[in-house]
Amino acid sequence: MDKNIRIAIIGGGPAGLSAGMYLEQKGYENYVIYEKSDHVGGKCHSPFHNGKRYEMGAIMGVPSYYAVHDIEVFAGITHDGPALNRDYQKPNGKMDHQFSTKRIWNLPHLLKLKKQIEKFGEILRADYKGYDICGHRGVSEGRYEGYAVAEDRHHVEGENPKLKDLCMTFKDFTDKLGVPLVREVWIQPFTSFGYGYFDEIPAAYVLKYLDFQTMMNFMHVNLWTWKDGTQSIYEALNAKLKHPALLEQNIEKVVRSEEGVVLTVNGKEEKFDKLIVTAPLQYFPEYADADEEEKELFSKIDYERYDTMAFLTNPENYPDRSRYIVDYMTPETLGHVMVYYHRWPESDQPLVTYVLRKHKNSKELDYEATKEQVKKDMAALGCPMKEIINEGKWYYFPHVFAEDYAAGWYEKVEAKQGNHSTYYAGEIMAFGDMDETVEYSRDLIERFF
C-alpha cells in the first residue's frame, strides 16, 4: 500500500491513538485522529483531586500487557504508580473471609477451588490452543489467527474445533469442563470491572481478557499502575505522535466511494483515502453511509451500563485498601456496589464505586435510583459518602451475545475489513480492556497496511 495515502482515524482512545502509533512505525505518517471529547484516553480517564489523579475508568494492568508496554516504550514512560491490594467485605459491612487461608473452616473449599483452577489451566493449555489470541476471527469456525500472548508476540494460526465451545456462555463453558468453582475468582476482575455476568457473556470474551496468565497475575496481585493514572499513558502517547489527536471534533457525516472517503467534521469536508473506525460501531450508521449488512451486524451489539462514582468519606471511615463485595456480583443484586477502589493512602483522596445496571434478562435500572442505592450500600459498608465529586456513566464493553457469536458475527465483520475503504477496530473487535484494544490495532495495521 502507498505509504503516502491519507488516513482518517475516528476516536482518540487507546485503539485510535495506538493505531496512529503503529501506522507511524510502518511508515504511514499522513493520518489524522479525530476525538469527539476534550481529552484523549477514552475510558482511561484519570481526573485530578488535591494534586493527585484518581481513576474513573481503567485502573490497572499486568505484566502480560505487551501492547500497553509497546506504548510505554514509544512514549518513554513506565508503570510507576501505587501498589494495589484488596480485602473482601460482606454487604453488612463485616469483613468477608471466604478466600482467607487463615480460617480453618474454609480450607476444604479453598483446596477444592485450587484443584479446579489448576484443572482449568491444564484443559485450556491442552485442549483450547488459540483461545487467548487477540481478536475473535475464526473462533466460531474452530480456528485461530493472530499473535501469541508472549513477549515476542509471534504470529500463530491453526485449526482447533474445540474453540467453538467458547461461543457458549462462560457459565455453561465452565460447567461443561467440570470446573464451576473457577467462576468465584474469575468474577472478581470481570463482573465487578463492568463486563457483565457469566450467564450472559460468551466464554471467548472472558478468556480473551482473563487468559490464564493474566488471571494468575490478578490473583497474586502482580499488577501495574501509573502514578498519573491510566489516562497519562495515552496523553504521553498522544504527545509523541507526529500528528496528535484533534479534540472536540464532531463527525457529522461519512460518505465512502471508489475515490475515497469524505468526512464532514465540525461543518467542514475532509477527504481521505482510508478510514479506521475505533469509535463505537453501534452508532456508526447514525452518521455514516452504512450499507445494509453493516446496519444489520452493528445492530446486534449490546453494551454494559456501568457507572463509577468518586466520593469522599470521613477520615475515620477511610479503608486501607480496595474492598470487593462478592455477594453483590450476581444478576440478582444488580445495582449494588460490587467494589470500591482505594488508590492513594491519603484520606483526602476519593474512593470510587463500581456498579452495573443491566443484565440481558432484566430491565435496565434507573441511573438516579441506582445512585441512591449506592449511597445506602456505602453507608452499610461503613464508608458513608460525605461528598460526591465525580460521576461516570459509561457506554461499556460492547459485545454480542452467544447466539450471534456462534452464528459467525465476527467472521462476517472481519470479511468486510477494507470494504468501502473502511477498517474496524476498537473495543468490540477484541475486548474492552486497554491491552486487548491496543493489541487489536496492532493486528489490524499489520494485516492491512
Per-residue model confidence as pLDDT tens digits over 81-96:
999 999 999 999 999 9
Q: Does 105 have pLDDT greater than 80?
A: no
Q: What is the CATH number of domain 7-79+226-301+400-448?
A: 3.50.50.60
pLDDT-derived band at 1, boundaries 50, 70, 90: confident
pLDDT at 100: 81
Q: Does 101 have pLDDT greater than 90?
A: no
The third-level CATH classification (topology) of the domain covering 302-399 is: Alpha-Beta Plaits (3.30.70)
Average pLDDT for 224-239: 98
pLDDT at 179: 98
pLDDT at 258: 79
pLDDT at 20: 98
The third-level CATH classification (topology) of the domain covering 98-219 is: Guanine Nucleotide Dissociation Inhibitor; domain 1 (1.10.405)
Q: Does 192 have pLDDT greater than 80?
A: yes
Q: Where in the chain is the domain with CATH 3.50.50.60?
A: 7-79+226-301+400-448
Q: Where in the chain is the domain with CATH 1.10.405.20?
A: 98-219
Q: Residue 315 and residue 348: Cα distance in Å, rounded?
A: 8
pLDDT at 151: 86
The answer to whether 81 and 227 have CB atoms below 8 angstroms apart is: yes
Q: Where in the chain is the domain with CATH 3.30.70.1990?
A: 302-399
Q: Residue 225 and residue 239: Cα distance in Å, rounded?
A: 20
Q: Does 376 have pLDDT greater than 90?
A: yes
Q: Does 144 have pLDDT greater than 90?
A: yes
pLDDT at 150: 84
Between the CA of residue 369 and those of 18, 215, 376, what are the distances in Å?
38, 34, 11
pLDDT above 70: percentage of residues in the chain: 100
pLDDT-derived band at 440, boundaries 50, 70, 90: very high
Average pLDDT for 382-400: 96
pLDDT at 259: 85
pLDDT at 329: 98
pLDDT-derived band at 359, boundaries 50, 70, 90: very high
pLDDT at 395: 93
How many residues in total does the chain contain? 449
pLDDT at 102: 78
pLDDT, one tens digit per residue, over 273-317 is: 999 999 999 999 999 999 999 999 999 999 999 999 999 999 999
- Tell me, yes or no, if the pTM score tops 0.75: yes
pLDDT at 436: 96
pLDDT at 104: 77
pLDDT, one tens digit per residue, over 405-426 is: 999 999 999 999 999 999 999 9
Average pLDDT for 57-64: 95
pLDDT-derived band at 149, boundaries 50, 70, 90: confident
pLDDT at 142: 98
In terms of phi and psi (left: phi > 0; alpha: psi -120 to 50; beta: otherwise), the region of 42 is left
